Amino acid sequence: MFVKENFNKAKQQYEKWGVSVEEAFDKLKNVAISIHCWQGDDIGGFEVNQQELSGGIDVTGNYPGKATNPEQLRADLEKALSLIPGKHKVNLHAIYAETDGEIVDRNAIEPKHFANWVKWAKQNGLGLDFNPTLFSHPKAEDGLTLSHPDKDIRDFWIDHCIQSRKIGEYFGRELGQPALTNIWIPDGYKDIPSDRLTPRMRLKDSLDEIFAANVDESLNIDAVESKLFGIGSEAYVVGSHEFYMGYAMQNNKLCLLDTGHYHPTEMVSNKISALLLFNDKLALHVSRPVRWDSDHVVILDDELREIGLEIVRNDAIDKVMIGLDFFDASINRVAAWTIGTRNMIKSLLYALLLPNDYLKKLQEEGNFTDRLALMEEFKTYPFGAVWDQYCEEMGVPVQESWLNEVKEYEKEVLIKRQ
Ligand code: RNT
Ligand code: ZN
């Protein structure tokens, strides 16, 4: 392959626009993507009394080789991470606790149940993020948790979320970088509610209780994730966008925007600049909705590129905590992680290679002809040659050569799990 040669030629074309490729690489190297562990086992988790997936989300496909225990999941993550340039974070859910065969209910999980994950993260130079799991549990069977009319049920989930924030704090302390603990709940109704307000009042009170618990905010950052609808909550979701946007702003929490949680033509890329005027930070779950919140593997499509552009040209690399949230069980799961995460990084590199200040200036001057012409021409600049060089410099496979490694791993490891 002619990686270096192609790169040198490509570089000149970007330099002609005053873009420093080295500077782009330096910035990109410092971006940690939060890679969701749940792509590796179809959001199964390792609870002793594991429940069927609920909460109005769904994973389809039965590709062989899914991880069935923590060791396998960590090995699969290591494989994927070896194919992805950069140093990243792994995003855990409470159901990935390791309790040594003991039944520990969700309200009783503790940092010690995640000690193996922390040890592993240290060994691999990774950060960790966290999510309480308010689904796949008997106390979430009717699709209501923090907004439940029954106080005992609400209290159970409040305790779970408080414990989760403590686990985030523990990750932050142990790993020397703050953890993001994100609350997403499935609460909603299948059919037209007769009262939209009361459940939202209860959710607000529950969140107040959760965040009243003393957790060091330099170690754990709280986020709240909204949603438009789910399976079984088509008519109404308690934690809607406006609900959490209001809550986050009033309480200095992070809004987490999942790209699958809006109306089909509503774009998360368009929300980033608006929210960052009123919040210091925000968080993302980058996913790919196909006709609904289907959580397809992230591809380098227009919206992903636009998200990368909004983060980069608004100087928001340190303000946007980028996480991924897709789950596809119809393809090799290690490949799914690799494809989605490499694409997320590509979108940032693409944005870092544009003369963003010049393009902004064109707009200010009302020169929409040049703006459109250049933005379109840059799409076919030799971006691939720069990406290949980045992979080479970062010591990960160039182009599709990573796929052979996944196939080898499938043959040697994944298939044997059957
Ligand atoms: C569900 C939310 C949520 C989950 C994960 C597993 O619609 O997107 O983030 O996907 O917590
Ligand atoms: Zn999400």
Q: Does the C-beta of 184 come closer than 6 Å to ligand 1?
A: yes
Helix residue ranges, H only, 17-84: 21-29, 70-81
Å from CA of 382 to ligand 2 middle: 33
Which residue has a Cα nearest atom 11 of ligand 1? 184
Region label for 406, one of left (φ > 0), alpha (ψ between -120 and 50) or beta (otherwise): alpha
Domains along the chain with CATH numbers:
33-349 (3.20.20.150)
Q: Residue 412 has what DSSP assignment?
A: I
Which residue has a Cα nearest atom 9 of ligand 1? 184
Which residue has a Cα nearest atom 10 of ligand 1? 325
Burial of 212 from C-beta contacts in 10 A (0-12 / 13-18 / 19+): exposed
Structure tokens at 279: 């919040």
CA–centroid distance for 312 within its chain: 18
Q: Is 227 a catalytic residue?
A: yes
Name the active-site residue from 76, 258, 303, 410. Answer: 258
Q: Does the C-beta of 41 come closer than 6 Å to ligand 1?
A: no
**Pairing relation of β-strands 188-189 and 236-237?**
antiparallel
pLDDT per position as a tens digit, 54-72: 999 999 999 999 999 999 9
CA atoms of 225 and 257, how far apart (whole Å): 6
Q: Is 184 a catalytic residue?
A: yes
pLDDT per position as a tens digit, 372-386: 999 999 999 999 999
With CA atoms as reference, report the closest residue to 170 among 122, 100, 205, 226: 122
pLDDT per position in the chain (418 positions), as tens? Answer: 799 999 999 999 999 999 999 999 999 999 999 999 999 999 999 999 999 999 999 999 999 999 999 999 999 999 999 999 999 999 999 999 999 999 999 999 999 999 999 999 999 999 999 999 999 999 999 999 999 999 999 999 999 999 999 999 999 999 999 999 999 999 999 999 999 999 999 999 999 999 999 999 999 999 999 999 999 999 999 999 999 999 999 999 999 999 999 999 999 999 999 999 999 999 999 999 999 999 999 999 999 999 999 999 999 999 999 999 999 999 999 999 999 999 999 999 999 999 999 999 999 999 999 999 999 999 999 999 999 999 999 999 999 999 999 999 999 999 999 7
Ligand 1: which of 57, 137, 182 to mutate, judged by most atoms within 8 Å of the beta carbon? 57
Region label for 98, one of left (φ > 0), alpha (ψ between -120 and 50) or beta (otherwise): beta
pTM to 2 decimal places: 0.98
